[in-house]
Amino acid sequence: MIRVRRVHDIGGLPAGPIDRSEPEHAPWEKRVDALRALCSRHKLMRTDELRRCTEDLGYGVYDKLPYHARRIASIANALLEKGVFTVDDLGRKMEAVERRWSKER
C-alpha cells in the first residue's frame, strides 16, 4: 500500500532539540504577515487553502525554506491559482523589483 505522508505531518518523528530563542523578524517577513492578513480580509484565500498550498511545496522545499519564505511562496501559488495575477505578471514584477533593488544598493 502506498502511504502518503505529507511533508508537514511530522507528529512523532524524531526532530531534535527545540530552538527556544526569540526570532528577530526582518522587515520583509513582517510584510509577508501583512500580505497574508490582507489576503484573508479581502477573502482571496482561506487559511485551509494557504495550509494546503504550503504543504504542496513538498519535500525539498517545505522542509528547507524558513517559515516566511515558505509562506510567501505558498501565498504566491494560491494567488496564481485564483487568477489574481498571472505567472507572467509575477515574473515581470519580480524582475522590476530586483532591478530597482540592485540600483539602490
Partner 1 sequence: MNQQFKVGDTVRVRRAYPPGHVRAPYFSRGKTGIVDEIAGAYRNPEELAYGRYDGEALPLYRVLFRQADLWPDYDGSAADTTIVDVYENWLEPAEGGQG
Residues in touch with partner 1 (CB under 8 A): 1-6, 9, 11-12, 46, 48-49, 51-52, 55, 81-82
- Residue placing its CB nearer to partner 1 in the complex, 25 or 51: 51
Q: Which is nearer to partner 1, 8 or 29 (CB)?
A: 8
Q: How far is the CB of 92 from partner 1 (least distance, A)?
A: 26
Cα–Cα distances (Å) from 19 to 16, 27, 43, 94, in that order, read: 9, 22, 34, 33
Residue 35 in grid coordinates: 500580505
Q: Which is nearer to partner 1, 13 or 87 (CB)?
A: 13
Nearest to 8, CA basis, from 45, 39, 50? 50
The least distance separating partner 1 from the CB of residue 31, rounded to whole angstroms, comes to: 25
- Find the shortest distance in angstroms from Cβ 64 to partner 1: 20
SS3 content of the chain, % helix, strand, coil (to 5): 55, 0, 45
